[in-house]
Amino acid sequence: MSIREAHSSDFTQIWPFFREIASAGETYAYPQNISESRAKEIWINHPRCTFVWEENNLVLGSYYIKTNHEGPGQHVCNCGYMVSPSARGKGIAQKMCIHSQNVALELGYKAMQFNFVASTNVSALHLWKKLGFSIVGTLPKAFNHPSQGFVDAFVMYKWLAT
């Protein structure tokens, strides 16, 4: 198992779990019918860099890191993480988040912010809090969950620099 920087060609392995997660509509604010080309643009082409979690030449997870805002906010990065449903419960998201914090510091970021964490995404909320992130804002009824309707979304933040 290893975490390495993603290549454009890795998206062929990312796309099946990206599509499954996006089409469920439960955790990411992506269109449920997002096209493969648009997903690749968001996940591979637009971020500052993207990484994959690989085991036996299989990509089981991925994350991106990008600048959250330019100018006076350019010291804060944003990340997104996805783990293949078949690989959940193995600590992959936790290891990718820890890795991303180290990469963020190497890239010169001082803080990390998650802009839109659905309040119903209990496992992610638990993990991010365990890793030192705090809820710094609540967006009332900002996420339209497919079965629970309008639920809150949270902004989560962690200062990384010492």
- Phi, psi dihedrals of residue 40, rounded to the nearest 5°: -65, -40
pLDDT in tens, 98-144: 999 999 999 999 999 999 999 999 999 999 999 999 999 999 999 99
CATH assignment of 2-113? 3.40.630.30
Distance CA 155, CA 27 (A): 14
pLDDT in tens, 23-79: 999 999 999 999 999 999 999 999 999 999 999 999 999 999 999 999 999 999 999
On the question of pLDDT at 159 being above 80, the answer is yes
On the question of pLDDT at 161 being above 90, the answer is no
pLDDT given for residue 1 in this prediction: 77
pLDDT given for residue 162 in this prediction: 81
